[in-house]
Amino acid sequence: MSDNKSNNHELHIISRYLGILTSKYIVFLLLVLTLYPMNVIPGYILLAGIVFPAALKFAIYDNSADSKNDDNNIKDFTLYPTAKKYKFTYTKYRCESYNFILIMILLLIWQFTLDKSGIFSYPKNIVPSLILIIYILSRFLGSILFKIKLHIDFMNMKI
């Protein structure tokens, strides 16, 4: 791969990772805010979102050459200082991607299990859908904004 393509690919991967992290923190904030009015379900989703990536990293990590190979792949990055600055590794990226999918599935399950009878339950019924929409949009918008930010930093030699 040429240097330009390699740099763009690395910027794209790091920006997607940062977009996932940003959307995760936004959805955690929304789940904490809805914890009291919506009972314990947001707490379970929040707990799953915190525990799942840590458990997955623990399950994947071992002292074999594969786990050390992940760090060596990052050192081969052209933009190694940027990857190091944002603590990017492929393992963390994969764990956060799987966590994104898990939280989306849990939000969908929460939406489908709500009681939809009664006109007064309508405001509570749209909460999981709104959180899901905000979660997905914040991931994609965060990825785009971080890609622009990283590109500007790269062009201004701030990396």
- Please report which residue ranges of the chain form alpha helices under DSSP H: 3-33, 41-60, 65-75, 80-85, 90-113, 122-125, 127-155
For residue 11, is pLDDT > 80? Answer: yes
The rounded mean pLDDT for the chain is 85
Give the pLDDT confidence score for residue 66 in this predicted structure.
Answer: 55
Q: What pLDDT, on a 0 to 100 scale, did the predictor assign at position 62? A: 61
Specify the pTM.
0.85
- Structure tokens given for 61: 């990590």
Tell me the chain's radius of gyration from C-alpha atoms: 19
pLDDT for the residue 117 = 74
Encode pLDDT of 52-103 as tens digits: 998 988 887 765 555 555 555 666 777 788 888 888 888 899 999 999 999 9
What gap in Å lies between CA 15 and CA 154, rounded to an integer? 13
The domain of 102 spans: 3-155
Token reading at 71? 């760090």
Considering its fold, how many domains does the chain have in total? Answer: 1
Give exposure, 128-139, as e/b (b: 16+ Cβ within 10 Å).
beebbeebeebb
For the stretch 19-37, pLDDT in tens is: 999 999 999 999 999 988 8
3-state class (DSSP) for residue 16? helix
